[in-house]
Amino acid sequence: MLKTGIYDLAQIKKGIPFKSCFGGDKKVSITLYDQILALPNAEELAERILLLFSDERGAYKRTYGKRFEIFDKEVLKLLENSFDKKHPLLFQDVGVSDGRTAVDFFEKIAVLFPKITYSASDYNPTVYVLEKGKLKVTLSHTGKILEIVWPPFVFNTIKRDSYKHYPLNHLVYFFVQSLMVKPLLKAYRAGKMKARELHLFSPYTLAAAKNDPRFVLSQLDLLKPFQEKSHIIRAMNVLNPSYFSQQEFKKVITHLHTALLDNGVLITGSNQEAGSLVHGGLYKKTKEGFEKIWQSGDGSPIGHYLLKLNAI
């Protein structure tokens, strides 16, 4: 069985189906992400492109707007009573994926705290595209290959297709990588060609950053210390046991704790589909770790880690 993908803007404009003849979703190349921005259905297409694309850790980049509405409403009430609206408020939203939910929250909290500085960051918000003829290779910021396009194929190198169901795809992938991709990477690393930068924040998110200087986009690795301290840190759908090992969690939570100012607040939670129950809450910084202020659902999946850093 052979599986092809969507790799050219002309295919999208012609209305080629996003579903394969067997009912599965076709991979849409990440290299088209910046080319669809001017189209009337850019937000829908951006969501579709991110559907099967993941960063180098295997975490999917997709997200959805209006995902935490009920949770956000309760959080905003608590924050309104915890911080002075007249003073500047430093806010970091981490692991925001394409940033849609970050914009949702920023637009609400900025009404309550007009002097806010809101930084929205993700681990891999920018990728780099190498092109030679029909071949396109997308790299992460660390240089890892994320996607290879060789029409009519779109290969996601992190989330590979099944060997059992698509053996021909794997055969083609092997030859393309060995005979075409390796020489391309060698030329790039030798400085003989340049890569095209591709920002993976949604069109909606990019517009928000352009229109309001209080909303800033950046790159951040939770496994590394934060560069700035904040009054509030928000981490939604990222502090999950499936993303980090126990030792990595110790680093992540220590970095979050250090990055908060005294009496700072951590907002964290996880859910499935938009509008579903969020399991999370608010945690106040203490000397030993965090104190739970409020809980939603079953609480944070890593709540037991947060309550005392030394227990990790």
| Of 188, 139, 138, 185, the residue nearest 32 (C-alpha) | 138
User: Is-contact 133 235, C-beta < 8 A?
Assistant: no
pLDDT higher than threshold 60 for residue 138: yes
State the average pLDDT over residues 13-28. 82
- What separation in angstroms does the CA of 265 have from each of 10, 82, 299? 47, 9, 15
Q: What is the mean pLDDT of residues 265-269?
A: 96
CATH of 69-124+200-311, one of 3.30.565.10, 3.40.1160.10, 3.40.50.300, 3.40.50.150: 3.40.50.150
Position 23 scores a pLDDT of 65
The predicted structure's pLDDT at residue 207: 92
Q: Output the pTM of the full model.
A: 0.86
Position 130 pLDDT exceeds 90 = yes
Q: Which of 10, 61, 44 lies closest to 203 in space, CA to CA? A: 44
User: Please, what is the angle between helix 69-80 and helix 100-112, to 10°?
Assistant: 30
Q: What is the pLDDT averaged over residues 117-124?
A: 94
Percent of the chain with pLDDT over 70: 97
- Does the pLDDT at position 63 exceed 80? no
| pLDDT given for residue 21 in this prediction | 67
Where is pLDDT greater, at 70 or 167?
Answer: 70
The mean predicted confidence, pLDDT, of the chain is: 90
Tokens for 9, please give them: 């803007």
Instruction: Say if residue 121's pLDDT is above 90.
Output: yes
| Spatial contact of 54 and 156, defined as CB atoms under 8 Å apart | yes
Residue ranges, comma separated, of all CATH 3.40.50.150 domains in the chain are: 69-124+200-311
Mean pLDDT of 148-152: 96
Task: Tell me the average pLDDT across 23-30.
Answer: 86
Distance CA 269, CA 263 (A): 20
Q: In terms of Cα–Cα distance, which of 300, 294, 244 is closest to 269?
A: 300
Over residues 204-262, the pLDDT tens digits come to 899 999 999 999 999 999 999 999 999 999 999 998 877 888 888 889 999 999 999 99
Long-range contacts of 210-213 (CB under 8 A, 24+ apart): 212/106, 212/110
Q: What is the mean pLDDT of residues 169-193?
A: 94
Burial of residue 280 (number of CB atoms within 10 Å: 0-12, 13-18, 19+): buried
Query: What average pLDDT score do residues 73-100 get?
Result: 95
Q: Is the pLDDT assigned to residue 311 strictly greater than 60? A: no
